[in-house]
Amino acid sequence: MRVASGLRHWLLHSGDGFLLPLVILAFFWQLGTPALFDLDEGAFSAATWEMLQRGDFITTFLNGEPRFDKPILIYWLQAISVSAFGLHEWSVRLPSALAASAWVTATYYFAKPRMPRRNAILAAVMVATSAMIVIIGRAAIADAMLNLLIALTLFDVWRYWEQPTRMVLFRVFLWLGLGFLCKGPVAVAIPLVVSAFLYISHGQWRIWLKTVFSPYGLAVFLAVAAPWYLLEYQTQGQAFIDGFFFKHNVRRFSDTMEGHGGAVWYYLVALPLIIMPFGGLLVQLLKNISGQGIERFLWFWFAFVFVFFSFSNTQLPHYLLYGITPLLLLLAMHGGENPNRWLAVVPAALVALVLLFLPEVLTSVVAKNPTPYFQGLLEQSQQVTGLYYRVATGIYLLALLALLLWPQVQNHLRLLGVAVLQTLFLGSVLLPVVAYTQQSAVKEAARFARHYLVDSVIVMDGVNMPSFTTYRETVTPRRAPVVGEYVFTKADYLQPVENYLVVFKQGGLVLAKKVNAP
C-alpha cells in the first residue's frame, strides 16, 4: 500500500521531470543494440551514408540510383548525426529518438492546461510507451519526425483557434513547411482537412480561408520548404515529379505498393496492437464519445486519418500513427483516470503469452514454407530464443499477472506499470531478438565483404537489403552479376548452383562468386 501511495504522490508532485526517465527508457535504452532493419532502416541509412560520400545534399541516392521515396529533411538530420558521431546504428536512429522525445513533451504541454495534471501525464506516458511509437522512435526512418510535426501543427492550429496570435500562426506554417520537407503532401493534407473541420463546424469558414491563404503564413511555408523542392526539380527534372509526387504519393493511395495491401477493416484490427498496452481502453472510451469542444476536434483528427488510410490501397501499421496522438489524448481523458484493471492488463498479458511460445510459432510458420531462406531465418532465431528468451519473457508475463492480481494498487498505476514493463521488454528483449533473426546474417555478410573482398565487385540480386551497403560502406548495385563478380543474395536464388562459388553462407543468405556463364 505504501509503495502504491508513494508512486501516486511522485506522479502528482514530481514535476515535469517525471517524463525524462520514461523517455530515456522508451527511445534511448539500447538504441544501437538491434541491427538495422531492412527494408526501410537499411534504405535510409544507406542513402544517408551515400549522401555524405557524394557530398550531394540535394538529391539522395541509394546504391547509385536516385531515391525519390522521401524528401530531404530526415537525411539531413541523419547526416548531421553521422558526421558528429560516426556511422553506427544508434547515430542514424538518434534523430528519430529525439523527435519521439519531443513528441512526448509537446503532447504533455498541450494537454497540461486542458485537462487535470494526472491525465496530462497519462497522455504523455501513452505517447511514450505505445508499442508502435516506441518502434518508430527507435527506427532510422522519417516517421517519428513526421508525427512530431503533424502533432505540433495541429496543436498550434487549436491554440490559434482559441487565441489567434502572429507567433502561433508563424509556428503553424513553420511546422507545415518542415513537414512538407520531411514527408511531402501528407504533412499538409491532414492538418488542412482537420483545421477546415474545426473552423467550418463553428461557422467560421471565412476565417479559415483567410488563415490558410495568409500571405505571412504562406511566406513562412515557402521559405522553409520551397528551396529544396526547386533545387531538386532543377537537378532531376520530371524524374523527380514522377518518382516522388506520382509514384510515392498518389500511387501509394491508388495502388498497392511493395506488397503492402490490405482491406477496409485492416486498421480496425491493427489499432489495438498499434497502441498496445492501451488497446483495451478503447472499450471504455467508446462509452464516453463527446462532440463538444476540444474532444470534437480530437475525434475528427483521429477519424479522418483512420477512414482515409482504411481506403488506401497501400496500408502499413505506422500510417495510422498520424491520428494516434488525438486518440491517446482522448484515452487519457476518459480511459486512463480509472481504467478497468482487466482491460489495462489482460491484452498485454495475452500478447506476452503468445510471445512466450514464439519459437514454436516460428517453427510452424517455416514448416509451411520450408525454403532455404526461411529455414536460415529459423536457425538464426533459435540462437536467440533459447533459455534467456524464455526466462525473460516468462518474468515479463509473471510481472503483468502480478499487476493484475495485486489488490492494493490503483488501476491507473497498474496501467502505468504495464506500460513501463512492455517498453522495457520491447527494448531489451523483443526488438533485439527480431533484429538478430532477420538482420544478423546481413550484417555478418557485409563484415565479411569488408575484410576479405575489399577490391572485389559485389552486386545485390534477388534481395533488397540495403543495410548491406551501410555495413559494408560501399555502393552495392542491384543487378545480376557477370563472371568474376560476387553476388549477395538468398541461398536458393543461385541458379544453376554450379556456376557459383559460395564464400559466405549464413541465415539463408550467401555471398558467391560467379565463375561460369550460363
DSSP 184-216: -THHHHHHHHHHHHHHHTTT-HHHHHHHHT-HH
| Burial of 346: CB neighbours in 10 Å, binned 0-12, 13-18, 19+ | middle
| Burial of 259: CB neighbours in 10 Å, binned 0-12, 13-18, 19+ | exposed
Indicate if the pLDDT at residue 257 is higher than 70. no
189-209: pLDDT as tens digits: 999 999 999 999 999 999 999
Indicate if the pLDDT at residue 247 is higher than 80. no
Arithmetic mean of pLDDT, 409-415: 85
Predicted confidence band of residue 338 (pLDDT cuts 50, 70, 90) = confident
DSSP annotation string for 115-174: S-HHHHHHHHHHHHH-HHHHHHHTSSSSHHHHHHHHHHHHHHHHHHHHS--HHHHHHHHH
**Predicted pLDDT of residue 248:** 57
40-77: pLDDT as tens digits: 999 999 999 999 999 999 999 999 999 988 899 999 99
Indicate if the pLDDT at residue 414 is higher than 80. yes
Q: At what angle do helices 293-310 and 186-200 cross, to 10 degrees?
A: 140
Residue with cell 527507435: 138
Q: Per this entry, what is the length of the chain?
A: 518
Indicate if the pLDDT at residue 162 is higher than 70. yes
Q: How far is CA 445 from CA 47, 467, 474, 505, 506, in A?
A: 19, 11, 13, 8, 8
In one-letter notation, the amino acid at residue 272 is: P
CA distance 447 to 223: 43
Residue 262 phi/psi, 5-degree rounding, is: -170, -155
Residue 62 phi/psi, 5-degree rounding, is: -130, 115
Averaged pLDDT score across all residues of the chain:
90
**Predicted pLDDT of residue 34:** 95
Look up residue 469 and give its three cell numbers. Answer: 551497403
CA distance 447 to 432: 19
Look up residue 15 and give its three cell numbers. Answer: 514535476
Indicate if the pLDDT at residue 335 is higher than 90. no
Percent of the chain with pLDDT over 70: 93
477 neighbors 64 (Cβ within 8 angstroms): yes
99 neighbors 145 (Cβ within 8 angstroms): yes
CA distance 169 to 158: 11
Q: At what angle do helices 143-162 and 324-334 cross, to 10 degrees?
A: 60
132 neighbors 317 (Cβ within 8 angstroms): yes
In one-letter notation, the amino acid at residue 274 is: I
Percent of the chain with pLDDT over 90: 75
- The CB density around residue 304, as the number of other CB atoms within 10 Å, is 18
Look up residue 22 and give its three cell numbers. Answer: 520514461
**Predicted pLDDT of residue 318:** 84
H or E element, residue 459: strand 458-460
Indicate if the pLDDT at residue 423 is higher than 50. yes
> How many C-alpha atoms does 84 have within 13 Å on its Cβ side?
11
CA distance 142 to 441: 25
Look up residue 433 and give its three cell numbers. Answer: 531478438
Among 102-116, 181-195, 309-323, 451-465, where is mean pLDDT lowest? 309-323
CA 177-228-301 angle, 5° bins = 25
Partners of 505 in beta bridges = 510
Indicate if the pLDDT at residue 154 is higher than 90. yes
Of 133, 22, 9, nearest to 410 by C-alpha is 9
16-44: pLDDT as tens digits: 667 899 999 999 999 999 999 998 999 99
Q: How far is CA 44 from CA 39, 88, 504, in A?
A: 9, 13, 26
Indicate if the pLDDT at residue 394 is higher than 90. yes
